[in-house]
Amino acid sequence: MNRLVAAVMLATIGAIIAQIVRGDRPPWVGWVSLVLAGAAILLAALRTVPAAVRLGARTDSSRQQRELAESIGRDHVFCAAAIVALVAIELSFA
């Protein structure tokens, strides 16, 4: 599953870059989409996934596990908001 998610993330970045290169929409649409997708992907890669792996190992105390879970939850809320904004912008200029 992790490879599928990574492939979809790469495909999304590739599609946004192709959109920018083609120039079929206002340039800012592609660049804002790239920033939104990049922020969500970088957050997931650099913080959410390592925290989830650590949480899954269950080597920390209950308090630390709760903090990790809360952090993962906040990360997911941010990523969901970024992707919703990306989709809204892309659909507005489709």
pLDDT (tens digit per residue) in 25-56:
999 999 999 999 999 999 999 999 999 999 99
Cβ distance 36 to 85 under 8 Å? yes
Looking at residue 57, its pLDDT comes to: 96
Q: What confidence category does residue 2 fall into, taking pLDDT thresholds of 50, 70 and 90? A: confident
Helix, strand, coil percent content, the chain, rounded in steps of 5:
90, 0, 10
Phi, psi (deg, nearest 5) at residue 38: -60, -40
Looking at residue 1, its pLDDT comes to: 64
The verdict on pTM exceeding 0.85 is yes
Q: Chain-wide mean pLDDT for the chain?
A: 96
Looking at residue 89, its pLDDT comes to: 97
Q: Which single residue is written with the structure tokens 């925290």? A: 51
∠ CA 47-65-52, rounded to 5°: 35
C-alpha to C-alpha distance for 52 and 13, rounded to whole angstroms: 23
